[in-house]
Amino acid sequence: MDFSSLTDALSSQNYAKIPDICETLMLQVAAQGIAFQDDWPYAIHLLGHIYVNDINSARFLWKTIPVAIKESRPEVAAAWKIGQNLWTRDYAGVHDAIHEFNWSPEAHCIVAAFSELYTKRMFDLLVSAYSTISIQDAALFLGMNEDDATNYVLQHGWIVDANSRMLTVKRQAVAAEQKLDPSKLQRLTEYVFHLEH
């Protein structure tokens, strides 16, 4: 099997393309009747779906992986553990699953990128859902210890109350920029003119 396109995506850190590349390759080898299960990079394939937040596809892929491979490749099981925690919305469990396994060099790169992306996603969730939150809960969501979580949110302009150990969330200013297209303005003018006359 030729995994050059997958290797290229990994080396260029274009992790969002991994699911599509894997699905295409899997369809090609299956159409040719080649037994591919023993050589298939299931961990990378699962992590690709997880990276693009396609937990349903990761779940269905997990169901198709032969039991012998699930039992003989701990990295595949570790990748799925991340997916399970995402599925059950166990935010702290996601971070634990990321950090508790010694990933291979190929998987480590995508796991590290996902970890950063997931922390950003959780931070955005906190910004949109809370006006105040305890340091302990923020640390749990961000997968950090309390000091690191406090420093992280302080860098984003949040306010900390040391007495109550609460954080006040600073909402990000949303700049809604409207672009005025001259042709649309012209059509609107003509339409209004037509209605008035």
Residue 111 has pLDDT above 90, yes or no: yes
Average of pLDDT values for 37-58? 92
Q: What is the pLDDT of residue 108?
A: 94
pLDDT at 122: 93
What 3-state DSSP class applies to 177?
coil
In the numeric block, which tokens belong to residue 7?
């290797």
What are the C-alpha distances in Å from 134 to residues 119, 126, 152?
17, 11, 14
The whole-angstrom separation of Cα 111 and Cα 75 is 11
Q: Residue 53 pLDDT > 80, yes or no?
A: yes
pLDDT beyond 80 at 157: yes
Instruction: Identify whether the C-beta of residue 45 lies closer than 8 Å to the C-beta of residue 22.
Output: yes
CB atoms under 10 Å from CB of 160, counted, come to 16
Percentage of the chain modeled with pLDDT above 70: 94
Amino acid 189: pLDDT: 81
Position 56 pLDDT exceeds 90: yes
Whole-number average pLDDT of the chain: 89
79 in Cβ contact with 59 (< 8 Å)? no
Q: Comparing 185 with 173, which gets the higher pLDDT?
A: 185
pLDDT value at 129 more than 70: yes
